[in-house]
Structure 1
């Protein structure tokens, strides 16, 4: 079956492509992915699209269908195979149960649709039924001279999956506090932090900034601008090549940070220095904030996989941590708390780095003043538990 193949370029950057079951490069897919690289697809986007298109190519190989001769029913069969996990399985259940959510299936299908959209724009006569010409109108209001405006019709997909909206997971303040305490606590008798301060700082950064895990792990010390004279600290999220392929998914932006978290960063810097980071690192400014401190290579960038593995271990130690919890739950919690506290949607959208306010509304439009979320309705009260002694 076709697979997504990781490729290391001459400059050290990582990208992805698709090879078929005979281990040959899938040229039409590679042409599309190369187009994506030229228009600055994020590394994670390229990877996700490559994996989705590898599944599509496996489906075509299994059914003996040429990519440029597909019919409408082929897409329906592909959606069904994705939903019920039948792509790589010769077994077909009489009453199959879904193994992928509609949202996940929709993401896979979006990559395939984008591939065919590119091929159509390049002049290929493949699956023309996937797109229809539609005149776009912005609401019911029409300007005085709207009837003489020459607006080009836009292509719209004819195949869509509308997944049911799911509740956004939110962590309670007590749960976050319990995780902090399990990671590291301040010992006033010895004026030092006991435990792994690195992870306490990481969870605090995710919870108080709304960053994605990839954005946090991509931070270098030069990106953290400490506040002076009462001004808030500013953290720059910068797009740059990362040894592990991480990237700033939403592009570059600046996030303002409160004084508590800024002080915790200062404590963390001293914590690293106590472990020899200031001696081992030749270029402190360009070194990564979150790094290895327990194993070799020391002070090398921390991997996402290591964070997830650590969180799994913490679920065994901290009562109340939900089993499905991921680092992204901190981002959901941050956004939900800000919206419930009355922050304008456009402000929350900019802080999260969303492409548009509509993206924020699509995810968090359901947020209301219900009893389940009342504990995070006031952001100041929410972060009060994150205060720690002055050191």
Structure 2
């Protein structure tokens, strides 16, 4: 029988700061903030780390302090063995002096275990850099770099060996990213707004349709789309319309991941949809309510207060929940805005667009990220090409036959 320790008193807590920004912290059994954890989370906030990253690390640290409490450990005197036991505890949930007679279902997948361990180790690295002797030989746990790739002249440039991990997490093979079919994407867009040819106007929310159409056609992350301003959208004037993805501050902390600028060309159809939305915005008084509409956000509140304020990610996910219920049975139940990005990349690769072009369009810092994420797509394309051996070798066969017709080789 497996005994899971009830440690609900130690938990993550969502906070709303004076600026309206949402963040997370860790509370102990006494309902007070766990000092070492909060110091590290505040460091992340100061560094303007994504709120989702702060949330993930707060969850990791809450689990770590639950583990310390269960086993009677002090946070600044832990050893390598304690970190190894933490991984076992994450998987089983078994308290001290408990041995399961039969293996049970794991509490977390190995990918989640790796993420939680990374969050805890980052916290300890932060405290060590600030002079706190927390954890013995912790550097032996810290991973440096990933994969087996070594840059050119690595053997010359590096004077010392690479740090290796003592405790390793079993890595699961990453499956194919989830995608939406063109029919499913059309269904989501049509559920938001459709063109009524009888009266020559749109029925529904053009803003909502524009968001999904934009994600599907450009592969933008949700945060990048919500950060767009009208000055970033360059309507076609006889040439190809395009948008600019510009790193900048956002009131809801959404951001351009990686901090890189990029320029994305779009279709005339998407550009016309944006023009309709902009016309509706001005008709609703946005140009009067906002000091400089050109410098304001494309996606804003239309019904909720404050009106014309930047649209929040939470509100987008409320829309996703409504669409899931409305389209139940027609689209996957678990779809998220990020599925549009995977669908966009998959479509480009299947169409034969070079990987380095897809990588630049997605804003990946390294083409290897694209190859790792969408390896199944490129592999399938290569297999299909090799399978069509007759067409592939037709030119080669014609050359051989022409040479043989001339005469034997001399």
Q: TM-score, normalised by structure 2?
A: 0.77
Name 1:246's counterpart in structure 2: 254
Q: Deviations over 1:344-368 (max 9, x none)?
A: 3233222222232222222112224
Q: Give the length in aligned residue pairs.
A: 366
Which residue in 2 is equivalent to 1:117? 125
Inter-partner Cα distance in structure 2 for 1:134 and 1:272 = 50
- Pairing 1:317–2:322 present: no
Q: Which moved more, 1:346-355 or 1:18-27?
A: 18-27
Q: Following TM superposition, by how much is the alpha carbon of 1:96 offset from its aligned partner in structure 2, in angstroms?
A: 3.0
Give the counterpart of 1:268 among 267, 271, 277: 277
Does residue 105 (structure 1) correspond to residue 110 (structure 2)? The answer is no
Task: Please point out which of 30, 34, 50 is paired with 1:26.
Answer: 34
TM-score of the superposed pair, with normalisation by structure 1: 0.80
Is the deviation greater in 162-171 or in 277-286?
A: 277-286
Q: Any idea what the Cα deviations from partners look like across 1:132-178, whole Å, max 9, x if unmatched?
A: 699999659868xx57x662333333333212221211111111112
Q: Distance in 2 between matches of 1:249 and 1:59?
A: 32
SS of aligned partner of 1:292: coil
SS at the partner of 1:285?
A: helix
**Deviations 1:100-158 (Å, cap 9, x if unpaired)?**
33222221111112223334444525141551699999659868xx57x6623333333
CA distance in 1, matches of 2:257, 2:110: 23
- Among 166, 178, 181, the alignment partner of 1:169 is 178
Choose the corresponding residue for 1:44, options 38, 52, 63.
52
Aligned equivalents of 2:294, 2:19: Cα separation in 1:
22
Secondary structure at the aligned position of 1:49 is classed as helix
- Equivalent in the alignment of 2:221: 212
Q: Secondary structure at the match of 2:294?
A: coil
Note closer, same or farther for the CA distance 1:226–1:83 as it changes in structure 2 (3 Å cut): farther
Pairing partner for 1:131 from 126, 132, 140: 140
Q: Secondary structure at the match of 2:263?
A: strand
Structure 1 120/297 Cα, relative in aligned 2: closer, same or farther at 3 Å?
Answer: closer
Aligned to 1:388: none
Matching of residue 236 in structure 1 with residue 245 in structure 2 = yes
Contact 1:239-1:252 within 8 A present in 2 as well: no
CA distance in 2, matches of 1:202, 1:302: 11
Find the partner of 1:279 among 288, 295, 308. 288
Q: Which of 302, 305, 311 does residue 314 from structure 2 map onto?
A: 305
Deviation, 1:321, is 0.4
| 181 and 41 in structure 1: CA distance in 2 versus 1, 3 angstrom threshold | closer
Do the aligned partners of residues 140 and 179 (structure 1) sit closer, same or farther apart at CA in structure 2, a change above 3 Å counting? Answer: closer
Structure 2: which 5+ residue stretches go unaligned?
Answer: 1-8, 385-410
Q: Distance in 1 between matches of 2:233 and 2:279?
A: 15
3-state SS of the aligned residue for 1:51?
helix
Deviation of residue 249 (structure 1)? 2.8
In structure 2, relative to structure 1, the CA distance for the partners of 1:264 and 1:45 (3 Å cut) is same
Relative distance call for 1:355 and 1:135 in structure 2 (3 A) is closer
Q: Is the CA contact 1:52–1:108 (under 8 Å) kept in the aligned structure 2?
A: yes
1:224 and 1:234 in contact (8 A); partners too: yes
Contact 2:84 2:167 survives alignment (8 Å): no
What CA RMSD, in Å, does the superposition of the two structures yield over aligned residues? 3.4
- Counterpart CA distance in 1 for 2:116 and 2:76 is 19
Larger Rg: 2
Q: Residue 41 of structure 1 aligns to a residue in which SS? A: coil
- Cα pair distance change 1:296/1:13, threshold 3 Å: closer
d(CA) in 1 for partners of 2:101 and 2:247? 48
Q: Which runs of 5+ in 1 are unaligned?
A: 375-391
